[in-house]
């Protein structure tokens, strides 16, 4: 149990701290008072006050966190400005979040997701510089008989160049790109005798082990790969190249996640792969057993997911507040309190539904349903 719980807590604490620090950094940059910086919710376990009066604390439930701004009952509340002006002195008004210009409020809100993306870039950059990145071309060594690949016309010694328009830079990319495809057919571009050929493959979907002991749905096409000329090309990158490939990885994960979420909304995606804290904890513990690099990699992917999800235009999330600010920019004034409360009720319903659905999938994984 501890081999799952400890890596999960480390991952969550780091990713949540970075997210909240993004809000905190921009708040301090623009002179907003911060009264609380909390990792977790509920009863405070321990904490301390800094020189500026911020209470830094760790609370009992580590699944999230928040920063609380001076004068606000919650982090991004909207109040009537006239009441605020009467209640606070001129000096205190300078520290109020809601009296800051729209662009500053937007940056403070966006700072959390931005910090998550930057953490992922930092992790990938470090891995690519000090451990290396694989650039081994993907050569097809075997095509199974009566497989989707054979039906599509793929043959031995084809070199896979692209899958669904994404370049295959490494033999490791192939299974990832096939798994992330949400279409009925997967588009392949292969190199054969110095010619580029486009092929469409309809994968079979099977229940298989993910290598960590978990049963998942897999899209398979019936090929076996080998390194080009049997040579592994694993390269330690310089800083500029490492950052470039890190940004590409973050962009790829972000766009793939959005496509996947879109496919679920449209009804074509596999919603059973959505998971909550239980599944994340289980996978984190399993990955941590393979060493520091896999653990840091899963931390980067979770950080991207947290940043991206928080940008969804759902009230209670950062994206919901950015949506309100967009309306404020267009209308020239904030939305009325009644309208905001209506949006927040909708947002609460959506979040509770997603949490219920993810937890249900987690419990199915444990065999409880």
DSSP state of 99: G
pLDDT of 47: 94
Tell me the C-alpha distance between 301 and 243, whole Å. 16
Place of tokens 């623009």: 30
Q: Is 44 a catalytic residue?
A: no
Beta-carbon count within 10 A of 231 CB: 8
Tell me the C-alpha distance between 121 and 115, whole Å. 10
Q: Which of 184, 187, 143, 179 is nearest to 161 (CA)?
A: 187
Residues with Cβ < 8 Å from 346, sequence gap 6 or more? 315
pLDDT of 289: 72
Decide: 44 and 77 in contact? Cβ < 8 Å: no
Q: Which helix (H) or strand (E) holds 325?
A: helix 318-331
* Triad 53, 56, 62: Cα angle to 5°: 155
Number of helical (H) and strand (E) elements in the chain, helices listed first: 11, 12
For the chain, give the longest Cα–Cα distance: 79
Supply the pTM of this predicted model.
Answer: 0.84
Q: Where are the domains of the chain?
A: 2-130+303-365, 133-235
pLDDT of 259: 82
State the Rg of the chain over Cα: 24
Burial class (CB in 10 A: 0-12, 13-18, 19+), 54: buried
Beta-carbon count within 10 A of 240 CB: 9
Beta-carbon count within 10 A of 31 CB: 12
Decide: 207 and 217 in contact? Cβ < 8 Å: yes
CA 96 remoteness from chain centre: 30
Tell me the C-alpha distance between 177 and 167, whole Å. 9
pLDDT of 361: 58
Q: Which architecture does CATH list for 133-235?
A: Roll (2.30)
Tell me the C-alpha distance between 65 and 88, whole Å. 27
Burial class (CB in 10 A: 0-12, 13-18, 19+), 201: buried
pLDDT tens series, the chain, 369 aa: 667 778 888 898 999 999 999 999 999 999 999 999 999 999 999 999 999 889 999 999 887 899 999 876 443 444 456 666 677 777 878 888 888 899 999 999 999 999 999 999 999 999 999 999 988 888 999 999 999 999 999 999 999 999 988 899 888 888 888 887 878 889 999 999 889 999 999 998 877 655 555 566 778 889 998 887 777 888 999 999 999 999 999 998 898 888 877 777 776 666 555 655 555 665 666 677 778 888 999 899 999 989 998 999 888 889 988 998 998 888 888 877 778 778 878 877 877 777 676 666 555 554 544
Helix, coil or strand: residue 1: coil
Beta-carbon count within 10 A of 332 CB: 6
């Amino acid at each position: 149990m501890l081999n799952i719980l400890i890596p999960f807590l480390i991952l969550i604490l780091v990713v949540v701290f970075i997210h909240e620090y993004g809000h905190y950094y921009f708040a301090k940059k623009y002179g907003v008072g911060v009264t609380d910086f909390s990792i977790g919710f509920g009863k405070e376990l321990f904490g301390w006050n800094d020189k500026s009066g911020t209470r830094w604390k760790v609370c009992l439930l580590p699944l999230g966190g928040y920063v609380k701004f001076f004068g606000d009952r919650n982090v991004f509340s909207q109040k009537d400005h006239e009441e605020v002006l009467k209640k606070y002195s001129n000096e205190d008004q300078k520290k109020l979040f809601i009296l800051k210009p729209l662009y500053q409020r937007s940056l403070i809100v966006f700072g959390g997701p931005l910090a998550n993306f930057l953490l992922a870039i930092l992790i990938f950059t470090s891995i690519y510089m000090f451990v290396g990145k694989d650039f081994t071309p993907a050569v097809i060594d075997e095509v199974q008989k009566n497989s989707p690949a054979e039906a599509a016309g793929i043959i031995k010694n084809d070199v896979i160049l692209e899958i669904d328009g994404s370049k295959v830079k490494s033999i490791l990319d192939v299974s990832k790109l096939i798994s992330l495809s949400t279409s009925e057919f997967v588009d392949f571009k292969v190199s054969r005798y110095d010619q580029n050929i486009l092929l469409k493959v309809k994968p079979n979907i099977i229940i298989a082990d993910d290598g960590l002991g978990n049963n998942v749905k897999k899209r398979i096409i019936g090929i076996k790969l080998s390194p080009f000329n049997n040579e592994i090309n694993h390269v330690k990158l310089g800083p500029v190249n490492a950052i470039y490939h890190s940004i590409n990885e973050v962009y790829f994960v972000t766009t793939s996640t959005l496509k996947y979420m879109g496919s679920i909304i449209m009804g074509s995606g596999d919603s059973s792969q959505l998971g909550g804290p239980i599944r994340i904890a289980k996978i984190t513990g399993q990955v941590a057993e393979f060493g520091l690099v896999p653990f840091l990699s899963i931390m980067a992917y979770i950080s991207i997911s947290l940043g991206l999800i928080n940008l969804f235009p759902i009230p209670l999330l950062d994206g919901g507040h950015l949506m309100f600010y967009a309306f404020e920019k267009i209308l020239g004034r904030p939305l009325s309190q009644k309208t905001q409360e209506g949006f927040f009720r909708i947002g609460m319903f959506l979040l509770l539904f997603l949490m219920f659905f993810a937890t249900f999938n987690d419990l199915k994984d444990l065999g409880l349903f």
